């Protein structure tokens, strides 16, 4: 089976080697890729029935570990991929096999009243550290402002795990509404809220969330927002505005592998913040490329 072969290959090649961040060897200096997805074509882990067009390739954890090793990435946060919907078993199996390398963010059905209890189980039994919600911009995503959200966000707070939100920039007022109710909850906004670069006024909706000290922003998806080739220099103006508002200790760099491979290699994706954001200092890079993620998803 492909997954087993790749696992044996990985363990033979690097199983006994320490994985150290390119920014240094101690825990405060290591590089953390805070957003990746993994999946396999395996009948034990079937894609959800809603997945009408399944991916034509695997993105196995062992493949990712090899890329991490080659790029000096010490730790990674696995985000449950949408192909599996609410079935988190493959990601859970990866967390169990490789706890020294990974933290995990699960998905639960936000329209299920039992979602808070599912999150409790995923956290206490399966080792996940947080949940991700993905409200659409149009009417099907209106549940983000509905009555099922406060119980789920409150359970996140009670469990001491972060809430991750993949949502378009137009949904940031709803995120603020929930953040107001749960000031002690750690919240992460994915991919700069996918704010179009040619609509800079829209970014104000995300910048307004700087008033919540426990809210963090991933400065990812430059490759999908940009009209330029790598290293997507036109995205730096938007990243700079986020930097000025939130500061480096509340910004997080990540790759979104393997989705990012449509645009650039893993090494290039991880290198964006480490090498190509010109206004960052060396200390800024230490936070954005590792330390901030370690605050949100602590590793042993």
pLDDT value at residue 118? 98
pLDDT at 19 over 60: no
pLDDT value at residue 29? 79
Q: What percent of the chain is modeled with pLDDT above 90?
A: 89
**CATH label of the domain that carries residue 95:** 3.20.20.140
**Which residues, listed in sequence order, are joined to residue 39 by a DSSP beta bridge?**
59
- Give me the number of domains the chain comprises: 1
Which residue has tokens 């999946």? 39
* Beta carbons of 165 and 192 less than 8 angstroms apart: no
**Which residues, listed in sequence order, are joined to residue 164 by a DSSP beta bridge?**
132, 188
pLDDT value at residue 300? 72
Structure tokens at 109: 């059905």
pLDDT tens, residue by residue, 85-107: 999 999 999 999 999 999 999 99
More confident residue, 237 or 16: 237
- Secondary structure E strands in 136-279: 163-165, 187-189, 215-218, 251-252
**Domain span including residue 149:** 2-296
**Model confidence at 220, in pLDDT bands (50, 70, 90)?**
very high
Query: Of 88, 73, 71, 3, which Cα lies nearest the Cα of 37?
Result: 88
pLDDT value at residue 76? 98
Q: From residue 295, how far is each of 9, 162, 225, 298 by CA, in Å?
A: 32, 11, 27, 6
pLDDT value at residue 18? 43
* Beta carbons of 278 and 235 less than 8 angstroms apart: no
Q: What percent of the chain is modeled with pLDDT above 70?
A: 91
pLDDT tens, residue by residue, 266-300: 999 999 999 999 999 999 999 999 999 999 999 87
d(CA 292, CA 249): 6
pLDDT at 7 over 60: no
Average pLDDT, the chain: 92
Contacts of 69 (CB under 8 A, 6+ apart): 14, 17, 19
**Model confidence at 8, in pLDDT bands (50, 70, 90)?**
low
pTM for the whole structure: 0.92
pLDDT value at residue 16? 38
């Amino acid at each position: 089976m492909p997954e087993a072969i790749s696992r044996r290959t990985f363990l033979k090649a690097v199983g006994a080697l320490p994985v150290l961040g390119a920014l240094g060897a101690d825990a405060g200096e290591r590089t953390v890729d805070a957003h990746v997805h993994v999946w396999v074509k395996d009948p034990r882990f079937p894609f959800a029935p809603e997945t009408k067009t399944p991916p034509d390739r695997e993105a196995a954890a062992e493949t990712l570990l090899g890329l991490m090793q080659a790029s000096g990435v010490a730790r990674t946060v696995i985000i449950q991929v949408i192909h599996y919907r609410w079935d988190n078993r493959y990601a859970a199996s990866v967390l169990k096999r490789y706890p020294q390398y990974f933290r995990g963010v699960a998905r639960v059905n936000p329209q299920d009243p039992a979602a808070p209890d599912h999150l409790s189980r995923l956290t206490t039994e399966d080792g996940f550290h947080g949940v991700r919600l993905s409200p659409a911009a149009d009417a099907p995503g209106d549940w983000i402002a509905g009555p099922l959200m406060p119980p789920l966000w409150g359970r996140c707070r009670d469990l001491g795990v972060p809430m991750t939100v993949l949502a378009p920039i137009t949904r940031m007022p709803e995120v603020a509404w929930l953040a107001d109710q749960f000031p002690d909850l750690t919240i992460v906004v994915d991919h700069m809220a996918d704010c179009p670069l040619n609509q800079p006024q829209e970014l104000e909706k995300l910048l307004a969330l700087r008033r919540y000290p426990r809210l963090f922003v991933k400065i990812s998806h430059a490759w999908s927002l940009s009209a330029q080739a790598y290293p997507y220099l036109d995205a730096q103006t938007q990243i700079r505005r986020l930097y000025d508002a939130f500061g480096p200790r509340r910004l997080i760099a990540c790759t979104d592998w393997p989705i990012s491979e449509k645009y650039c290699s893993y090494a290039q994706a991880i290198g964006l913040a480490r090498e190509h954001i010109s206004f960052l200092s060396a200390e800024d890079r230490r936070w954005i490329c590792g330390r901030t993620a370690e605050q949100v998803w602590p590793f042993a």
